[in-house]
Structure 1
Amino acid sequence: MGVITISVDDEVEEKFRKLVAKKYGRIRGTLGVAVTEAMKLWIEKVERKEK
């Protein structure tokens, strides 16, 4: 499993964390699950545009 350290806008982080907690609860590891889901969606979007 990879580790990525990033910086994001405070407002984006706050909204993302709230939505993750709302969807998955405050269970350990859910932020990583949500970020992985978001990254997969972004990859799919970019790959569709490249075709």
Structure 2
Amino acid sequence: MGKLVITIPDELEQEFRDAVYRRYGMKRGNLTRAVIEALEQWISTVREEIEHQKDSKLNVGRG
């Protein structure tokens, strides 16, 4: 397993923890679960944006 050490604003951390506790409860491992979910979603979004940009560039000048 990989390990990331990050620094985020206190308010963002608290909002994230609150959201995790509301969604999953205060069970061990739930923060990790939520971070993995968030990273996977972010990666998926970025990949889609990149593909859209590639498609847009290929279609320039056609028509």
Please state which band the TM-score falls in when normalised by the shorter chain: over 0.9
In 1, Cα distance between equivalents of 2:11 and 2:28: 22
The residue number in structure 1 matching 2:34 is: 34
RMSD (Å), alpha carbons: 0.5
Equivalence for 1:22: 22
| Paired-residue identity, % | 41
Q: Give the aligned residue type for 1:9.
A: P
TM-score (normalizing by structure 1): 0.95
Which residue pairs with 2:45 in the alignment? 45
Q: Which runs of 5+ in 1 are unaligned?
A: none
Give the paired residue count. 51
Point out where structure 2 has 5 or more consecutive residues left out of the alignment. Answer: 52-63
TM-score (norm 2): 0.78
4+ residue runs over 4 A deviation: none
Q: Which has the higher contact order (CA 8 A, sep 6+)?
A: 1
Tell me which residue corresponds to 1:3.
3
